[in-house]
Structures are given as C-alpha cells and as structure tokens.
Structure 1
Amino acid sequence: MRAALALAFAILLGGANPAATQGVAITFDDLPAHAELPPGETRLGVVARIVGALADAGAPPTYGFVNGATAAEPAQAEALRLWRAAGHPVGNHTYSHRRLDDLAAFEDEVARNEPVLAELGGEWRWFRYPYLEEGATPGLRAGARQLLNTRGYRIASVTLDFSDWAWNAPYARCAAKGDMAAIAKLEASWIAAADASLVRARALSRQLHGREIPLVLLMHVGAFDGRMLPRLLALYRDRGVRLVTLEAAMADPFYRADRDAAASPHPATLEDAARSRGILPPPKTWDLAALEKVCAP
C-alpha cells in the first residue's frame, strides 16, 4: 500500500514538470493497413499523413512493423513503399498477425514475412509480437525467443501505450454518420489518454529506477492516428519529449533482454517490472469500453 501511494504521488508530481527531457521512440504497428477506414479515406492517405507529421516534427527514422499479408493489394503496397521512401525503416510483425500459440506456425509466420521486408530494403530485423502476446506458457515464450535470436532479431519493447488502436473504429463510425461533435469528443479523449500515459510511464520509471528511462511508444497506422499525430507530437514537445530512434531508446540497460532476444521471465514493460518488486501499477485512466458505444448502430 505504501508503495502504491508513493507511486500515485509521483504521478501527480510528474504532470507538473513538463520541462524534463524525456526520450521517446515512436513505433507503428500493422503497416500498411490497420482498422476500418472512414468514407473517402485510403491507406495511402493515412500513411502520407503520418509520414508528413513525422517530417514536420523533425522525427528521426521511425520503425513501422509490417504484416505482409496486407501488402498484397497494390494500393496497400503503395502505402508501404511511401513509408520507405520517406526514410522510415520496417520490422517484422509476422505475415498475418497471428497469435503465438504454436512454435512451428510462429516460425512460418516470421519467415513468410521476411521476403516482403527484404524487398523493401534497409535494416529490418526488429520484431514486434502481434497483440504483444509472447506465448501463454513458459515453453512457448522461451521457444519463440530462441527462434528470434537464431534468426538474428531484436524484440521491439513497448513501455508507452495508450491503446491508440481503440479510437479508430469509433472514428470511422462517426465519420460515416457525419457526427462532428462526437469526433471532437474522440479527439479530446485520445489526447487526454496520450498525456496520461506519458505521465504514468514517467512516474513508474522514476519510482523503479530513480530516473526516466527512454520510452518506446506503440501506435498503429489507423486513420484516427493519422488525424491526431500532429497534435500528439505538439503535446510531446510541450511535455519536454525528445524523439529518438528505436535503437537509441533500446540501448538503455532496461531493455537488454528484448534487445538480445534473450531468455526473460516476463516482457520488458514498466508494469511487469513494478509487479516484480511488489509495486501495484496505477490503473489506466482512459476508458476503452466507453469507445465501443460511440456512434454505435
């Protein structure tokens, strides 16, 4: 209880110190296609907005994790080529975004995606687990890590996440209805969740390590992400965030097990690190269940 109260107090203090420098590596999952599209939107348009916002913010090369199955359609392949043409690297997110429930199937998913990545060029041997699920049993987890290590991969951690994906479907519904008031509420709740997640991660980092470790942010190439990314980057600038590469963030000792795809008892997340020390992470303040009702039929 004492540890939980101390962490809550640290979170309150954390929101009042926007000048502190914080390294954040942004990453995007599910290239080139994620979630429903609102009327008139295209996958190419979504990616164009994202790379444009990154360029305007002076962001460094930003990893996008690819599902090769969605790159088969010409229009979606074009979106993927645009990502690479903008100077952003790609990584492996498995071919069809299948959950890790069988090692043989997992290896096939990883290997089947590699020709897609190799054709795009650049350094692509970073891996992001679909759904961030690393296997339900110790055997699956250890086997997957050994497989990734053997194939030369590093695992892309996630230490900053506000479930950005959950806003894309309601946005598409509200856009189809032309409900601009509802979209404005979605915008407000999305940016509030992003801000709260940053404050929470910073406080956890200080509580656990006495410093702010560089964070790895998970986002998705959804239409609402493309719409909101300029506002997120402006928020981060105001909060003293410095955008860094995935390689730079994960050079921190906190990420060593994932960087080496080495045996580890749990994922390299701040929440798991807190629990391992008997600290209960504070609850997330954003309400994903409420999003399911927004502009629902």
Structure 2
Amino acid sequence: MNKPTYKSILLLFLIFLVSISAFSQKRSISITIDDVPNTRKYLKENFNPRLLNILDSLDIPFTIFINEAKVTNNEFDNKNKELLEMWIQNRNSIAGNHSYSHARYSAVGFDKFVKEIDEGEILTKHYVKKHDKELKYFRFPYNDMGADSTQHVEIRAYLKSKDYVIAPFTVESSDWMYNYVYLHYLNNGKIDKAAAIGEQYVEKTLELVSFYESMANSIYKRPVKHIYLCHDNAINTDYICEIISKLKQEDYEIVSFEESLTDPIYLQQDTYYKKWGISWLYRWMDTQEERISWMKQEPDLSKIEKEYAEILKKQ
C-alpha cells in the first residue's frame, strides 16, 4: 500500500473542513419589499406607516425597492415624501430603485426604461445621502429583465454604467395575488374569509420556502442564503409577524440583503433571456427542461389562483 503524501492528507483535511462547514451552516433568509411606499394604504390608515412600524418593532433587517411615482399618486405629496424618508432612514433598512412607475421593461423598451431608472432615483438619492446611506441596488418590476438576450444585455450594461447591482430573489409566494383576494373580502365585510386567506398565505409562504430550500440543497448540497420577495401591502402588514415568527421557529436567521448576497451562488451567470420573473434558482439552471422539472414540483397555488380569477371575472 502506498504511503499517504502530505498533499493527499492536506486535500482530505480541506474536504473535511468544507463538509463540516456546509453541514453546520445555519439557514438564513433576507426580507425584501417591493412597491414602496404604498401611499394609498398610508392615506387609508390615517398616515400611519403600519408595516414600517411592525418591521421596526421586529428589529430585523429589510430592503425596500422604491417606485417614486407612488409619492405623487394623490394630493398629499409632502406627507408621502415624509413616508418615503421614514422608510429610508430606518436603522434596519436598505433602499433600492424599482423604477419610477413600475413599468414592464419588455413592453416599454430600452429608451423608455432607461428614463424609468433615472427618474426613479431622484428622491431616493436625496434621502439616502441625507441619512448617510447608499443607493446601489435595482430590482426590475415584475422581475422582467427583457424580452430577449438583446434587451437583457443592453439594460445590464446601462445599469452597470450607473453602478447598480441587479437585485435577485430566490423565494416569492404570490403575495400580490393573496393581497388582492384578502382586500376584496375585507372591503366587503367578510372578515372570516379574509382571515382564512391570510392564514393560507402564511402556510403557502412557509411551504414555498421549504420547497426552494430543498431545491437549493439538491443542487448545491448545502443551505443557501435565501432572499424573499414580497410587497408593501395589507396582507403583509397583517401577517408578516407570523411569517417571521414561523421562519425563526424553523431555525431561519433573518439577515440583511447584503449578507445574503455574500453567498457565492449570486456570482453565477444568469442566462435566462426571457421576460418571466422566475426565481434566480431557476435562472441559473442550464436547461429549460431542468427548470420545468422543478417547476412541476412547486407547492400548489391553484386554490388562490381560482379564487383570484373568480373575483376578477365578477368585477
């Protein structure tokens, strides 16, 4: 039998260390919130920033992606500016650009979307500078990065020229759809039905986190630092506490967006050149067949999809 060499022993030791590190790595997730500030909800709630206050009380890091057009969508411009500044100055927040008016890039094209990027940073840059912060992240509305590879390449180059980092996500749970149904029941005095939708939202969010965790473990053989995408809306105002509590019960650490981005998975090249806003875990896959195979295993959202469609049809 050959005597082990120093190099072979060192290699085995390094493999052992990597294995131990992967095994012991704690699960984590960061919270990112799109479509901030929800000034319509702010007005309805008598200028009380409930979601922001709840996040502040939880004392967790969070990142917001801002549509500045929302500041001028009613006659209370000054109040709305105060709200935007409150979000940005919060000790736990990171601010990002989400375009001026939430335009879909593949629909409006390069020139109009560049204008959306530039107009969407004016107020935000003022407030981040005032509060000694930075503006360096951009998230596409609908996570639509273009209709084809040409649009993808063009806009990436423009964002890079402005020192923006494109904001990814790994987990989302169609909270916008749950919110629509939730508000429909609340507005029609059907409180019990609204509560059932809220609990369904929490349950499916946890299911989806578990699904994407399993997917990541299957592909990368370790926990990854997940990024959750949700929105500034009523259902999160009422149920984000429950979601955070249950995530912590599942041994998830709530970390900052910047901490999540330290995971090497986010250095991978995105070669998905379509307009659909899928998880980055799908974008990094080599083939469409692999994506479809995993998508077929996702938790079933048909119940909320059916309810949403029925409400739309009636209206």
Superposition TM-score, scaled by structure 2 size: 0.78
Q: SS where residue 243 of structure 1 aligns?
A: strand
**Could you tell me how far apart the structure 2 residues matched to 1:198 and 1:272 are?**
17
Within the alignment, does 1:65 sit opposite 2:65 as a pair? yes
Aligned equivalent of 2:12: none
1:283 aligned onto 2:298? yes
Q: CA deviation at 1:276?
A: 3.2
Q: Which is worse superposed, 133-142 or 166-175? A: 166-175
- Corresponding residue of 2:32: 27
Following TM superposition, by how much is the alpha carbon of 1:44 offset from its aligned partner in structure 2, in angstroms?
Answer: 4.2
Checking the alignment, whether the CA contact within 8 Å between 1:49 and 1:227 is kept in structure 2 is no
Q: Which runs of no fewer than 5 residues in structure 2 stay unpaired?
A: 1-23, 273-277
SS of equivalent to 1:265 = coil
How well do the aligned residues superpose, as a CA RMSD in angstroms? 2.5
- 1:265 aligns with 271
After superposition, give the CA deviation of every residue in 1:3-26 in whole Å (9 maximum; x if it has no partner).
Answer: xxxxxxxxxxxxxxxx98311110
| Counterpart check, 1:208 vs 2:219 | yes
Match of 2:160 in 1: 149
Say if 2:117 is the partner of 1:110: yes
SS of residue in 1 equivalent to 2:211: helix
For residue 181 of structure 2, the aligned residue among 170, 189, 192 is 170
Aligned to 1:123: 134
Which amino acid counterpart does residue 60 of structure 2 have in structure 1? A
| CA separation of 1:264 and 1:169: change in aligned 2, threshold 3 A | closer
Q: CA shift at 1:204, angstroms?
A: 0.5
| Letter in structure 1 aligned against 2:270 | S
1:74 and 2:78 aligned: yes
Residue in structure 2 matched with residue 230 of structure 1 by the alignment: 241
Range 89-98 or range 266-275, more displaced: 266-275
| SS state at 2:105 partner | coil
Q: How does 1:50-61 map to 2 (within 5 A)?
A: 50-60=51-61
Deviations 1:122-165 (A, max 9, x none): 21110000001110111000111111111100011010111111
| Counterpart position of 1:250 | 261
Native 8 Å contact 2:185 2:193 kept in 1: yes
Q: Are the counterparts in 2 of residues 157 and 269 from structure 1 also a CA contact under 8 Å?
A: yes
Judging changes above 3 Å, is the alpha-carbon distance between structure 1 residues 166 and 124 closer, same or farther for their aligned structure 2 residues? same
- Paired with 2:252 and 2:246, the residues of 1 have a C-alpha distance of 9
Write the distance in 1 (CA, Å) between the matches of 2:81 and 2:221.
Answer: 44
The offset of 1:114, in angstroms, is: 1.8
Residue 89 of structure 1 is matched in structure 2 by 94
Contact 1:33–1:43, Cα closer than 8 Å, also in 2: no
Q: State the Cα deviation string for residues 88-115 of structure 1 (Å, max 9, x = none).
A: 2211101111111311111111111121
More helix by share: 2
CA distance in 1, matches of 2:218, 2:111: 40
Provide the residue aligned with 2:45 in structure 1. Answer: 42
What's 2:7 paired with?
none
Tell me: CA distance 1:264–1:270, structure 2 relative to 1, closer, same or farther (3 Å).
closer
Higher relative contact order (CA 8 A, sep 6+): 1
Instruction: Give the secondary structure class of the aligned counterpart of 1:63.
Output: strand
Q: Distance in 2 between matches of 1:277 and 1:136?
A: 16
Q: Which has the larger radius of gyration?
A: 2
SS of aligned partner of 2:229: strand
| CA-to-aligned-CA distance 1:52-109 (integer Å, 9 cap, x gap) | 332333312x211011111123333232122123222211101111111311111111
Kindly indicate whether the alpha-carbon contact (under 8 Å) linking 1:167 and 1:291 is maintained by their aligned counterparts in 2: no
- Cα displacement (A) at 1:217: 0.6
The TM-score with structure 1 as length reference comes to: 0.83
Q: Distance in 2 between matches of 1:119 and 1:200?
A: 40
Name the CA distance, whole Å, in 2 between partners of 1:268 and 1:228: 23
Mapped to 1, the partners of 2:47 and 2:89 lie a distance apart of 13
CA distance in 2 between partners of 1:29 and 1:277 (Å)? 27
